[in-house]
Chain A
Amino acid sequence: MTSNHDPSILSPDRTLPPSNPPSQKTFPFPRDYHFPPYFTRQPTLTTRHAQLQKWSSLILSYCRYHKIWKLSLADAIESDLFWNKKLGKRLSREDAREVLEFMRKEGRSEAVGGKDGSVFWVWWRDPEEWAGLIADWVDDTAQKNTVLTLYELTESEATLSQDFHGMDPDLLQKALSILVKRGKAQVFGQEDQQGVKFF
């Protein structure tokens, strides 16, 4: 707590959080992101809860914006998501993990492969919602009873405008298996050349 720098309320050399807006092309970070204590674990329980909720919604909108389905903790803490370089503040690995754990309890994230993993699914849409989205698209484009390859579904130009374009293959499997369970789709074929037929 002690320091020998000269603290003064009116000292002019202190930099305030950046006030210039981010350029249009980058993700528009919320106001909280420019608030220095946002990156420090708050000791008061209620404040902490508010903080976790703010982080949760930031991560969800960040991942939605960048179409991130799987968030690697190691990579993320080096990225601007958890590291505000202008402010010189960053979220520690432990704190970031706690946020994701908080999101898991809210049903908005899930560890990929085991509890101790450091890669997380971020459900800005959960598999159920993805399944619904894909089924709706098939419906809208009248492609029921036609066979599509999984590659077509997520990588072809036809789905460019869809949120599930470029979707993580593992997640696609999850979503499709939900549709299969409902009897709305059938997946067949080998590893690399899978196809799907919707009913």
Chain B
Amino acid sequence: MSRKGVGLAAFDRSRLTSAQYATHGNNLRTSHSTSLATQLSVFRSLLQQFAQTHAKDIRSNPTFRAEFARMCSAIGVDPLASSSGAGGKDGGGSFWAQLLGGSVNDFYFELAVRVVEVCGATREENGGLIGVKEVRDRIMSTRPEGSAEITDDDILRAVETLKPLGSSYSTLKVGHKTYIRSVPKELNTDQSAVLEAAQVLGYVSVSMLMVNLRWPRARAATAIDDLVSESMLWVDKQCDEYEYWSPGFMLEVQDEGSLG
């Protein structure tokens, strides 16, 4: 049988215990939160110290920068998130802006401006869809010799910084390639499949899609026509069967050329 008392005193006792539990819980919570707060402030100052000592590296060394960003995200700190809304009197910029006096932040903002420029300049030829690598190559080619290297990772982070502006810039993964999309346009699955197929050789044709994706002719032709009308494919009519080329391939070819 139950060992609990059965008299009226049992009610008092249970009230007492729950009150004790509550106080104890409160105590635990406060001690936890103070210790957490201490840890956090220690961590913050350490991170700050680290970032300040390595500010130059973060700015100039892309691997280092990527690692630092990865470290921040691993511990749940979004270095690019703006804290201006919730921030206190000194919270004017993002986490990094506070830490580094804006230099890293500025780096990404400047890069974002360049990304927007490249996307704008090439929108006519690619329908507003451009590979991250192409963007990087274009930006690198216009930078003076010996300027700091930028990576695909940096480009993606820069695109992230555009988000608060409510802009239409977003990233999109098709096949093994990441694209930056600068027009608010959704690709349907067929169109994505065509673009993915075009990554292999740089082009597709109707019968290639029919053979490889087992599509009926009409489906292949529709998907291709859609992409052509969006400027996302260019047609080459000087061959047996029309070939539809991905404009991103223009840049890749040149790359190989300059390396060779």
Q: Do A and B form a real pair? A: yes
Cα separation A23 to B35 with both chains bound (whole Å): 68
B182 within 8 A of A: no
Evaluate whether A34 and B203 lie within 8 angstroms (CB atoms) in the complex, with A2-B241, A44-B229 already known. Answer: no
What are the interface flags for A28-53 relative to B under an 8 Å C-beta threshold, 1 for contact and 0 otherwise?
Answer: 00111011111110111011011101
What secondary structure prevails in chain A residues at the interface with B? loop
Chain B residue nearest in CB terms to A34:
B253
From A1, A17, A18, A21, B242 is in contact (CB under 8 Å) with A1
Identify which of B8-16, B148-156, B232-240 touches chain A.
Answer: B232-240
Chain B residue nearest in CB terms to A89:
B238
Q: Are B231 and A46 in contact (CB under 8 A)?
A: yes
Cα separation A5 to B203 with both chains bound (whole Å): 16
Q: Count A interface residues, CB 8 Å.
A: 38
Cα separation A8 to B214 with both chains bound (whole Å): 12
Q: Are B257 and A32 in contact (CB under 8 A)?
A: no
Evaluate whether A34 and B254 lie within 8 angstroms (CB atoms) in the complex, with A16-B202, A40-B236, A46-B124 already known. Answer: yes
Question: Closest CB of chain A to B166's CB: distance in Å?
Answer: 24
Evaluate whether A19 and B257 lie within 8 angstroms (CB atoms) in the complex, with A7-B211, A36-B236, A42-B234 already known. Answer: yes
Q: Are B260 and A36 in contact (CB under 8 A)?
A: no
Cα separation A159 to B242 with both chains bound (whole Å): 50
Q: Quick one: which of B192-239 are within 8 Å of A by CB? A: 197, 200-208, 211-212, 228-231, 234-239
A18, A20, A37, A44 — which one has the most chain B CB atoms within 10 A of its CB? A37
Query: CB-CB < 8 A to A43: which residues of B?
Result: 228-229, 235
Chain B residue nearest in CB terms to A4:
B240
Q: Are B240 and A36 in contact (CB under 8 A)?
A: no
Chain A residue nearest in CB terms to B208:
A7
Query: CB-CB < 8 A to B247: which residues of A?
Result: 35
Question: Closest CB of chain B to A88's CB: distance in Å?
Answer: 7
Cα separation A1 to B217 with both chains bound (whole Å): 11
Q: Are A20 and B241 in contact (CB under 8 A)?
A: no
Q: Are B207 and A3 in contact (CB under 8 A)?
A: yes
Question: Closest CB of chain B to A45's CB: distance in Å?
Answer: 9
Question: Closest CB of chain A to B136's CB: distance in Å?
Answer: 15
Q: Are B245 and A21 in contact (CB under 8 A)?
A: no
B250 within 8 A of A: yes
Q: Are A50 and B240 in contact (CB under 8 A)?
A: no
B186 within 8 A of A: no
Query: CB-CB < 8 A to A38: which residues of B?
Result: 234, 250
Q: Are B249 and A35 in contact (CB under 8 A)?
A: yes
B256 within 8 A of A: yes
B188 within 8 A of A: no
Cα separation A37 to B202 with both chains bound (whole Å): 11
Q: Are A35 and B241 in contact (CB under 8 A)?
A: no
Q: Are A35 and B234 in contact (CB under 8 A)?
A: yes
B251 within 8 A of A: yes
Question: Closest CB of chain B to A9's CB: distance in Å?
Answer: 5
Query: CB-CB < 8 A to B260: which residues of A?
Result: 19-21
Evaluate whether A20 and B257 lie within 8 angstroms (CB atoms) in the complex, with A1-B242, A35-B250 already known. Answer: yes
What are the interface flags for A150-193 relative to B under an 8 Å C-beta threshold, 1 for contact and 0 otherwise?
Answer: 00000000000000000000000000000000000000000000
Query: CB-CB < 8 A to A20: which residues of B?
Result: 257, 260
Interface residue ranges, A against B (CB under 8 Å)? 1-3, 5, 7-10, 14, 16-21, 30-32, 34-40, 42-44, 46-47, 49-51, 53-54, 88-90
A-B pairs with beta carbons under 8 Å apart, 11 shown: A9-B201, A9-B212, A34-B257, A37-B244, A37-B245, A43-B228, A46-B231, A47-B127, A50-B125, A51-B234, A88-B238
